[in-house]
Amino acid sequence: MDNLYDVIIIGGGPSGLTSGIYTSRARLKSLLIESLEIPGQAVIADNIENYPGFPEGINGFALVEKFKKQAKTFGLDFATGTVEKINTVKQNDISFWQIKTEDKTFNSLSIIVATGASHTKLNVPGEEKFTGKGVSYCATCDGALFRDKDIVLVGGGDAAVEEALFLTKFCRKITLIHRRDSLRATKILQERILSNKKMEFIWDSRVIEIMGEQKVKSVKVKNIKTNEEKMVTCEGVFIFIGQSPNTGFLKGIVELDETGYIVADENMKSSREGIFACGDCRRKLLPQIVTACGDGATAAVSARKCIEKLKGTEYK
Ligand SMILES: Cc1cc2nc3c(=O)[nH]c(=O)nc-3n(C[C@H](O)[C@H](O)[C@H](O)COP(=O)(O)OP(=O)(O)OC[C@H]3O[C@@H](n4cnc5c(N)ncnc54)[C@H](O)[C@@H]3O)c2cc1C
């Protein structure tokens, strides 16, 4: 079959692109499919300062562009589309995977899933209505729209604090609302945010409603210890309360944990022969760029071994 790939990588973030560098250098016929609808997390990170080799830090989009350029030099093919379904097919005694996007079908002997994770929603009244009208999940994309304005930021982990630090470049005042009484973020980030004069903090509290007319005007906040409610005036609400994996199309095909993350072993093998997983879509301790790249390289080598076994060309 002419159009049969050895490996198709789903996802164009750090894990998928690293897989692509390794599979194309191994001269496997490789294609990477990237969604234009589901944004990768690395490309929205403003300043990555813990990825080795960039002591001054590097913008996430710029870093991913470097990965892409490197993958292209080794001949990785690229396609755009959101993968919606995968299934197995047998033709002329060859079993392979069919990978379907909204309008195309691709064939491959193996798959590397590198689809990352997407932001979690608050699921409160007003959130959907005001998304794009004051509610945002991406400081890099929307921060500049809130120059000299007062905003609210929800969350207390690394991503929330990094994004809050970025937003202090634009906003007049940022009120960080967190459901605990302290931040969960890495200590160095905590030190920076707690000493920033543009920041105010509301602890032990949840946003229970986002209010406004055409655009956001305020949020209603409830203290979870005292049940006291109050209004905070703001023109923007940035939400960073966690993420859930982009693995819906794999339900019933590979083993997922109770929250939808792919269960894969240390060699990135999923429960299904020929399907490998890497990066933030995989159940793991540390979802970061450096581990996504390590996963991606390992998944590529596992896929290569799988292909060599299928084709009877493995070293014995
Ligand atoms: C605000 C923020 C700041 C961060 N800061 C840092 C930091 O400083 N340092 C650090 O190490 N990490 C940081 N992270 C975490 C880091 O971005 C992730 O760990 C990393 O991006 C994971 O890489 P990945 O390749 O698994 O997924 P992603 O980078 O999320 O890429 C996923 C890819 O899959 C594609 N995709 C998804 N679903 C489909 C589908 N169905 N079909 C086709 N394509 C699909 C997406 O379009 C995207 O190309 C940050 C994250 C956020 C949100």
Q: What pLDDT was estimated at residue 183?
A: 97
Give the tens place of pLDDT for each residue, 244-253.
999 999 999 9
By C-alpha distance, which of 100, 118, 133 is closest to 39? 118
On the question of pLDDT at 10 being above 80, the answer is yes
Tell me 250's DSSP state: G
Pocket of ligand 1 (CB under 6 A): 10-16, 33-35, 38, 40-42, 44-45, 48, 50-51, 82-83, 114-116, 159, 162-163, 246, 249, 279-280, 287-290, 292
Q: What pLDDT was estimated at residue 107?
A: 97
Pocket test for ligand 1, best of 58, 108, 115 (most atoms within 8 A of CB): 115
Are the C-beta atoms of residues 9 and 33 closer than 8 Å to each other? yes
Q: Do domains 4-118+243-311 and 121-239 have the same CATH topology?
A: yes
Domain at 4-118+243-311, CATH from 1.10.260.40, 3.50.50.60, 3.40.50.450, 3.40.50.300: 3.50.50.60
Q: What pLDDT was estimated at residue 313?
A: 79
On the question of pLDDT at 316 being above 70, the answer is no
**pTM for the complete prediction?**
0.88
Give the tens place of pLDDT for each residue, 64-74.
999 999 999 99
On the question of pLDDT at 141 being above 90, the answer is no
> How far apart are the CA of 41 and the centre of ligand 1, in A?
3
Q: Break the chain into its structural domains and give their ranges.
A: 4-118+243-311, 121-239
- CA-based angle 32:35:39, to the nearest 5? 120
CATH number for the segment(s) 121-239: 3.50.50.60
The encoded tokens of residue 247 equal 């693995």
Give the mean pLDDT of 86-102: 94
